Structure 1
Amino acid sequence: MAKKKPIAILALLLSFTLLLAACGQGGNNTPTTGAAGTDSSKSPGEKIKLSIWHNFSGDDLRAKVVREQIEKFQSEHPEVELDAQAIPPDGYRQRLKTVAAANEMPDVFFVQSGTSIKEFYDGGLIQPITSVLDEHPDWKNNFISGSLDTLSFDGQVYATPLSGSATSFLFYNKSLFEKYGVKVPTTWDEMMTAVKTFNDNKITPISLGNKASWLAQSSILSSLADRVTGTDWFLKAVNQDGAKFTDPEFVQALQYFKDLADANAFQTGFNSLDNTQMEQYFAEGKAAMMIDGSWALTNMAAAATEEQLSQIDITVLPSVPGGKGDPNSMSGGSGGGLALSKTVTGDKLKAALDLIYTVSGPEAMQAIADSNSIVTYKVEPDQSKVMPLFYKAFTLYKSLSLTPVYDAYLTSSATDAVNNGLQEVSLGGDPKAIAQKIQDAQARDLGK
C-alpha cells in the first residue's frame, strides 16, 4: 500500500474542542479524573482501577478472541479491577465522542486508524504506546511494513492494529451463478449484465445493509471510486491540492453506484438493514453477490452452515471503462487498535500497557488470524482452524495492492457527507449535488 501522504490539519470535532477548553492545550493536558478514566493514585493494598472500551461485542470469532484476551489479562492481574465494556459497533463512535465532551474517557479504548485516531491525537486526548513496543522488539518488528503508519504521529506509535482492513471483497454464490449461466463479472458491463439476469430470475443481485451508512462508502465506493479516479487523484482531493470532489471522474464514480441502485441491484429496504442482516441474507442464498469487508469472513464462520459456506467464493470488484486505478487492488490497510488515554499515569499506566500488549501482542495476533480474520502481522493462519474461504481470501489479500478507505482519510464531516450522500444517491439523488456537498465539507474543514 502506498505510504499515506501528509494530510492538512483536520478540523476538530466540536466535542473535542469543548474538552480542550476544559483540559488545556494539545498534548500538554495535566492528568485529571473522570467517571471512566480515574486517577492512578491509590492506597497500599488497593486495587488498580482500569477501564477498557471496545466494540468487539458480537458473536463472531474475532470478537470472542479479543474478549478472551481481555479475560486473560484479568486472570493474570488480580491486582487490577478491570471495567471492560463491549459496545455495539453502530453506536460506538458516538459514545466515544460523548464521553470525550464530558471528560470521562476510558483509560484504554479501541479506535479506528486514520482520521478517527487523528482526531483524538489532535485533541490531546491520547498518549503514545511506543514504550511497550520497544520492550518487545520481536512484536514491534513483525508488523507488515507500513501497517503502523496510520496509527502513528510525529514518530510515535499510538496503537497497533488488531486486524487488517480489507473492505471490498466481492463474495458470490457459485450455485446461483452456475444455475443461471452468469459469468462472474470482471468488467463493469459484465456486472450490469449479471444484475439484470438475476433480477429477471427474481434473485437479488447484491446483498447490501447500509443502515449505519458507512458500509456503502467503505465496501463499495472506496474501491469503486479508486477504479475510476486512481489513488493519486483521491489523495490530492483529500488535501484539496490539485483535485476536487466535484471533478468529473469522482462524479462518474458516484454515477456508477447510482446505476447499481437504479438497476435494482440491492434488496428492497437496504438502507434499513444492518451489516449482520446483509450477511445473513447473502449466506442464505437470497442474493447472488455481496460486497463486504474481511470482517464478513469471521462473521460467516460463526453464523453460516458448512453447506452455505461451500456455495460461496470470493474475488475483487470488476474494472471500469477507462479507469485510472489498478483493477487488481482493494481498499484496505490497517484496522484499528487500542489507544491509551492521556490521563493514565503511574501504576495504572504500567497496567494499561500490559493490557494493550496482552490484547494486541504476538499470541493475540495468532489467535485473531486463526479466527478467520486478516491481520497486518507476519503470521500464517492455522489451516486446520480456519475455513477454506478465509484462507482463499487471505491468499487473495496478499496478492493485491491496497488503496485508501475513504473514511480513514476524509475529515469527519466529509465522511458524513459521503455516507449520507450515498444513501441519497441510492434513492434518486443527483451525483453532482452530492459531490458538491462532499467537496464543501472537506474544503471547509481544511480551511480552503
Structure 2
Amino acid sequence: MKKWITVLCFTLITSVLLAACGGGNGTGSGSSEGKVRISIWHNWTGQDAKATAMRQIIEDFKNDNPNIEVVDEGLPTDGLRTRLRTVAAADEMPDLFVMWPDAMTKEFVNGDLLQPIDEELAANPEWKNNFIPNALDGYTVDGKVYSVPMNLAPTSFIYYNEAIFNQYGVKVPTTWEELETAIQTFNDNDVIPIALGNKANWVVQSTLFSTLADRITGTDWFLKAVEQDGAKFTDPEFIEALNVLKSLGEAGAFQEGFNSIDETQMMQLYFQGKAAMVINGGWALANLVNNAPAEVLDNTHITILPAIDGGKGEANVTSGVVGTGLGVSKKLEGARKEAAMKLFYALAGPDGQKATLDSSTLVSYNIELDRSKAHPLFVELYELMQDVKITPVYDSKLGSAATEVINNGLQDLLMNGKAEDVAQKLQDAQAQAAGK
C-alpha cells in the first residue's frame, strides 16, 4: 500500500512539473524538441483558390524550415474576428494573425498588442516600394507601419447573369431608375432580382450600403462623421441613404427570408439561376469560378452600383479596403520573432502576392496579370478595377461598437425599421467612441 501511495505521489508531482513546463497562452508559442514554435491564426479555411494557395505556402514553409514548428489554426472570418477580440481582451494574442486595416489595427495598437514591422520593410525596400499608392495607410498608426495588405478587397460589385437579363429584355442598369425598372421586371416574372444572405449581419453593410451611402453622402462627409467633426449620422443625407436602402427592400429587390440565410446560401441562389443578380465583394469571384455551373458562369459579368441622381458622391467608385494583413504579437522576440517574420514574408511578400493574384484574387501590389492564364471573369474584374476607385467600407472606419450598431440597424431597417432610429443609435455609438 505504501509503495502504491509513493508511486501515486511521484506521478502527481511529475504531472504538475510537466504542466508547469508546458504552460503558456494556448497559442502554440515556445519551443519543442529544439524547434522554434510559432502560431498563426487565419481565415483561409475554404476550398477557394485563395485559401488553397495560402495554406500551400504554409505547408511549403513547414517543409522548407524543419527547425520551425508552425501551429496554424484556420477559422471562418466571422469566428476569427470574434476570437481575436476575445483573446485581445485577455492579452493572449497568437504570434501571427490575419487582421483588418483601419479600425481593428488602431484598436490593437491602442491596446499595446502589436509591434511594428518598419525594420523588416526597411530591410526589403523592393518589397515596401512595390505596393500601390496609399496601400499601407490602413496599417499605419502614428507613423509606424504594423502590417501590409495581402490582397485588395473591394466589397461591392453587381454580379449579373446576362442570359436572364436578355431573356426578359432588361438593360444592365447604369442609372438608379434603370435598377428600379430591372427589379420590377424580374419580380413580374418570378425571378429574384438580387439574391441576399444577411444572416451574418455585415453583408448588407459591407457589400451594398457602404457604396450606396457614399453615392448620396460623398466620402468626405462619411470621414467627418466618423471623426464626429463637422458631420453627424443624424444629418439629412445619411437619413436619405438609409431610406434608399429601405426602398429597395420595399420594392422586392431581395428574396423573402434574406436575414435568415448566409452568404453561401445567397450565392447558391445565384448559382441555381434563381436570381438575376447578386451583390458581393471581389472575394466572391473565386467562388464563382470554382463552383458556379457553366451555364451560369459563362453568362456572368460584373458591374458596379449605379449612380444616384442628386448624390454628392462620385459615380465610378466602390467601397472596399486594401485587404487583410498579418498582425505580429507585441510579445514576439528573438528567434521566435525571426521565425515569425520569415513566415510573414513568405505569405505577404512578393511570392505571396503573386500566388494571391494567380488565385483570381486582387492585390494591392504592383504585379501585372498574366491574362492568358487567368479566368476571363477575373480579367473582367481586374480591368474594371483599373478605372474604379475604392472608397471606405463602413466597418473599416467605424469602431467595433458602432459597426455592430449599423449592422444590426440595417437588418432592422429592411424589416420595416425606421431610418431615424438607426441613424440616432449609430450617432450615439460613434460619438461615444470618438469621445464627443
Compute the TM-score of the two structures, normalised by the length of structure 2.
Answer: 0.92
Which of the numbers 348, 351, 356 marks the counterpart of 1:363? 351
Please identify, of 296-305 and 208-217, the stretch whose mean Cα deviation from structure 2 is larger. Answer: 296-305
Aligned equivalents of 2:291 and 2:188: distance in 1? Answer: 30
Which digits, 9 at most, give the CA deviation of each residue in 1:325-367, with x for residues without a partner? 0011111231111110001111000000000000111111111
Q: Which residue of structure 1 lines up, in the alignment, with residue 36 of structure 2?
A: 48
Matched AA of 1:320: I
Please identify, of 385-394 and 193-202, the stretch whose mean Cα deviation from structure 2 is larger. Answer: 385-394
Which digits, 9 at most, give the CA deviation of each residue in 1:163-210, with x for residues without a partner? 101111111110111111111111111111111110110000001111
Aligned equivalents of 2:91 and 2:108: distance in 1? Answer: 13
Q: Which residue of structure 1 lines up, in the alignment, with residue 126 of structure 2?
A: 138
The answer on whether the counterparts of 1:34 and 1:103 sit within 8 Å (CA) in structure 2 is no
Please identify, of 150-159 and 323-332, the stretch whose mean Cα deviation from structure 2 is larger. Answer: 150-159
Which digits, 9 at most, give the CA deviation of each residue in 1:35-73, with x for residues without a partner? 21635xx59x61111100001111111111111111121
Aligned equivalents of 1:198 and 1:392: distance in 2? Answer: 25
Matched AA of 1:139: W
Aligned equivalents of 1:83 and 1:173: distance in 2? Answer: 42
Which digits, 9 at most, give the CA deviation of each residue in 1:360-412, with x for residues without a partner? 11111111111110111101222233211111111111201221111110111
Matched AA of 2:266: M
Offset at 1:153?
1.4
Say which SS state the counterpart of residue 71 (structure 1) adopts. helix
Q: Which residue of structure 1 lines up, in the alignment, with residue 267 of structure 2?
A: 279
Aligned equivalents of 1:37 and 1:151: distance in 2? Answer: 26
Aligned equivalents of 1:372 and 1:155: distance in 2? Answer: 32
Which of the numbers 23, 42, 46 marks the counterpart of 1:58? 46
Matched, 1:35 2:26: yes
Say which SS state the counterpart of residue 368 (structure 1) adopts. helix
Aligned equivalents of 1:158 and 1:283: distance in 2? Answer: 39
The answer on whether the counterparts of 2:321 and 2:396 sit within 8 Å (CA) in structure 1 is no
Aligned equivalents of 1:276 and 1:391: distance in 2? Answer: 23
Say which SS state the counterpart of residue 399 (structure 1) adopts. coil
Q: 1:317 to 1:267 in 2, by over 3 A?
A: same
Say which SS state the counterpart of residue 73 (structure 2) adopts. strand
Q: Which residue of structure 1 lines up, in the alignment, with residue 205 of structure 2?
A: 217
The answer on whether the counterparts of 2:225 and 2:231 sit within 8 Å (CA) in structure 1 is yes
Aligned equivalents of 2:38 and 2:417: distance in 1? Answer: 47
Matched AA of 1:322: G
Which digits, 9 at most, give the CA deviation of each residue in 1:62-118, with x for residues without a partner? 111111111121111101111000111121111112222333211000001110111
Matched, 1:342 2:333: no
Aligned equivalents of 1:352 and 1:100: distance in 2? Answer: 19
Aligned equivalents of 1:305 and 1:135: distance in 2? Answer: 46
Aligned equivalents of 1:104 and 1:444: distance in 2? Answer: 27
The answer on whether the counterparts of 2:99 and 2:105 sit within 8 Å (CA) in structure 1 is yes
Matched, 1:85 2:40: no
Q: Which residue of structure 2 lines up, in the alignment, with residue 166 of structure 1?
A: 154
Aligned equivalents of 2:368 and 2:281: distance in 1? Answer: 20
Which digits, 9 at most, give the CA deviation of each residue in 1:4-61, with x for residues without a partner? xxxxxxxxxxxxxxxxxxxxxxxxxxxx95221635xx59x61111100001111111
Which digits, 9 at most, give the CA deviation of each residue in 1:275-294, with x for residues without a partner? 12212221221111111100
Q: How many residues align?
A: 414
The answer on whether the counterparts of 1:33 and 1:343 sit within 8 Å (CA) in structure 2 is no
Aligned equivalents of 1:99 and 1:414: distance in 2? Answer: 20
Say which SS state the counterpart of residue 297 (structure 2) adopts. helix
Offset at 1:240?
0.5
Q: Which residue of structure 2 lines up, in the alignment, with residue 227 of structure 1?
A: 215
Offset at 1:307?
2.9
Q: Which residue of structure 1 lines up, in the alignment, with residue 62 of structure 2?
A: 74
Say which SS state the counterpart of residue 289 (structure 1) adopts. strand
Matched AA of 2:174: T
Aligned ranges 1:9-408 → 2 under 5 Å: 33-36=24-27, 38-39=29-30, 46-408=34-396
Gaps of 5+ in 2: 1-22
Say which SS state the counterpart of residue 138 (structure 1) adopts. helix
Matched AA of 2:302: I
Q: Which residue of structure 1 lines up, in the alignment, with residue 9 of structure 2?
A: none
The answer on whether the counterparts of 2:161 and 2:296 sit within 8 Å (CA) in structure 1 is no
Aligned equivalents of 1:250 and 1:398: distance in 2? Answer: 29
Identity over aligned pairs, percent: 50
Q: Which residue of structure 1 lines up, in the alignment, with residue 414 of structure 2?
A: 426
The answer on whether the counterparts of 2:43 and 2:75 sit within 8 Å (CA) in structure 1 is yes
Matched AA of 1:183: K
Compute the TM-score of the two structures, normalised by the length of structure 1.
Answer: 0.90
Q: Which residue of structure 1 lines up, in the alignment, with residue 433 of structure 2?
A: 445
Matched AA of 2:245: F
Gaps of 5+ in 1: 1-31
The answer on whether the counterparts of 1:61 and 1:301 sit within 8 Å (CA) in structure 2 is no
Aligned equivalents of 1:204 and 1:169: distance in 2? Answer: 17
Say which SS state the counterpart of residue 386 (structure 2) adopts. helix
Matched, 1:412 2:400: yes
Offset at 1:161?
0.7
Which digits, 9 at most, give the CA deviation of each residue in 1:259-307, with x for residues without a partner? 1111121112111221122122212211111111000011112212333
Aligned equivalents of 1:272 and 1:304: distance in 2? Answer: 22
Aligned equivalents of 1:171 and 1:405: distance in 2? Answer: 19
Matched AA of 1:358: A
Please identify, of 435-444 and 261-270, the stretch whose mean Cα deviation from structure 2 is larger. Answer: 261-270
